[in-house]
């Protein structure tokens, strides 16, 4: 019984690690795809910043490093991840 639990835990942790590793950084919606849903969410937060903008969404601050502004740096990350998915499948 103990062996089954250990193996089950190992498999669960391994699967979680794989699923997190495969999700692109620009996956704002959390569905592991960079698609129009992510683009729409980023668009809704466009040019907002973390100083009190009503449309600020910290999940959209995907530039590296994150800088507290939703701008072309975040859009570039989203576009690169989207194109990467198209080219690599």
Residues in contact with Ca ion by the rule CB under 5 A:
61, 63, 67, 74
What are the tokens at 50?
A: 């973390």
Q: Which residue's CB is nearer to Ca ion, number 11 or number 67?
A: 67
CA distance 28 to 31: 8
The nearer residue to Ca ion, 67 or 84, going by C-beta atoms, is: 67
To Ca ion, the closest distance from the beta carbon of 49 in angstroms equals 9
CB of 1 to Ca ion, least distance (A): 49
40 CA to centre of own chain: 14
CB of 66 to Ca ion, least distance (A): 5
Determine the Cα–Cα distance for residues 18 and 41; give it in Å rounded to an integer. 25
């Amino acid at each position: 019984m103990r062996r089954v639990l250990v193996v089950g835990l190992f498999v669960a942790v391994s699967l979680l690690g794989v699923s997190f590793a495969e999700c692109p950084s620009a996956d704002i919606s959390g569905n592991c795809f960079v698609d129009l849903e992510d683009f729409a969410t980023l668009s809704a937060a466009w040019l907002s910043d973390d100083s009190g903008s009503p449309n600020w969404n910290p999940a959209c601050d995907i530039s590296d490093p994150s800088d507290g502004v939703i701008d072309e740096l975040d859009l570039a990350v989203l576009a690169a991840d989207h194109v990467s998915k198209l080219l690599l499948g």
